[in-house]
Structure 1
Amino acid sequence: MEWNKLVPELLVANYPRSKDFYQNLFGFKLHFERAEDNFGYFDLDGAQVMLLQADASQHQALSRAGSGLHFQVEVAAITGVLERLMAASIELQAPVTEAWYRADDIEYGQREFFVADPDGYLFRFYEYIGERAVA
């Protein structure tokens, strides 16, 4: 596995619950874990994240500090993640949409949706659908 140069470490209220959510619903694989520290390093096709259980005061203070932040994760197809979330009755924060984002004279397209993890961290999962010239 290649280590990314920037990997977010998310403080979570309950590591076992978050670990289960990230593995079974988001589809991340556990790369390594320090169970005695309630810490895990996860990977989803190159998208990497660390989870660390924090005490209640740390978690509350730091989750407020990161409000407004969301994580974008590219997957080959969003259907697998969506199916797992729906089967677990997890509500999406924003429905699946097709979005086109301009970079100079090219627009890049993606099908995307937003969902929150058990600690309220917001994720945008997307699949790439192509590019086109700016109209």
Structure 2
Amino acid sequence: MTLSNDVYWNRMVPELSVTDFSVSLNFYTQILGFSIMVRRRDPDFAYINLGEAQLMLEQYSSDAWNTAELIKPFGRGVNFQIDVDDIDVIYRRVMRNNVTLYRELKDSHYDIGNHIACQREFLLQDPDGYLLRFSQYIE
């Protein structure tokens, strides 16, 4: 969906409640390399992207759309797969910043019918525990 200035807005974008907005925004932008598309204050909010992957971050508030008490790690039962063009660039950034990995960089193979696909991937948790899976399709 294109709304303005030829910016592409995905039709489904996860919005993550975060406990310390400045820490989370720094993690996503300075460590992982996301860019800020939209920034708002009160409550703190950012719409961010890494290539075509988009997320929203919002400072946790008791007035927000909370369906239950948030207990760390947040996002239990879900991982966010973020497809990238060059996983090594992001992996080096993560290692340079001493981020603990949930799962090391490895190649995973998937049977997709008429052939086996290879996906290079690693997983980490953001400051609130959301599980992020960075992946690159390997021919």
TM-score by length of 2: 0.85
Alpha-carbon distance in structure 1 between the residues aligned to 2:17 and 2:110: 30
SS at match of 1:36: coil
Alpha-carbon distance in structure 2 between the residues aligned to 1:62 and 1:35: 22
Give CA-to-partner distance per residue, 1:32-78, whole Å, 9 cap, x none. 11123210000111100000011379598245783110000111111
Residues 1:72 and 2:78 are matched in the alignment: no
Alpha-carbon distance in structure 2 between the residues aligned to 1:20 and 1:100: 33
Superposition CA RMSD, Å = 2.2
Partner of 2:116: 107
SS at match of 1:50: strand
Between the aligned residues of both structures, percent identity stands at 35
Alpha-carbon distance in structure 1 between the residues aligned to 2:96 and 2:62: 29
Query: Which residue identity does 1:61 align to in structure 2?
Result: E
Alpha-carbon distance in structure 2 between the residues aligned to 1:59 and 1:50: 18
Query: Which residue identity does 1:88 align to in structure 2?
Result: N
Gaps of 5+ in 2: 1-6
On the 8 A contact 1:30/1:41 being kept in 2, the answer is yes
Alpha-carbon distance in structure 2 between the residues aligned to 1:66 and 1:96: 22
Give CA-to-partner distance per residue, 1:68-116, whole Å, 9 cap, x none. 1000011111112111111211111001111111222222211110011
Residues 1:45 and 2:54 are matched in the alignment: no
SS at match of 2:77: coil
CA 1:56/1:36 → structure 2, altered by over 3 Å: closer, same or farther?
Answer: closer
Alpha-carbon distance in structure 1 between the residues aligned to 2:20 and 2:11: 26
SS at match of 1:95: strand
Partner of 2:4: none
Query: Which residue identity does 2:33 align to in structure 1?
Result: G
TM-score by length of 1: 0.87
Partner of 1:61: 69
Gaps of 5+ in 1: 131-135
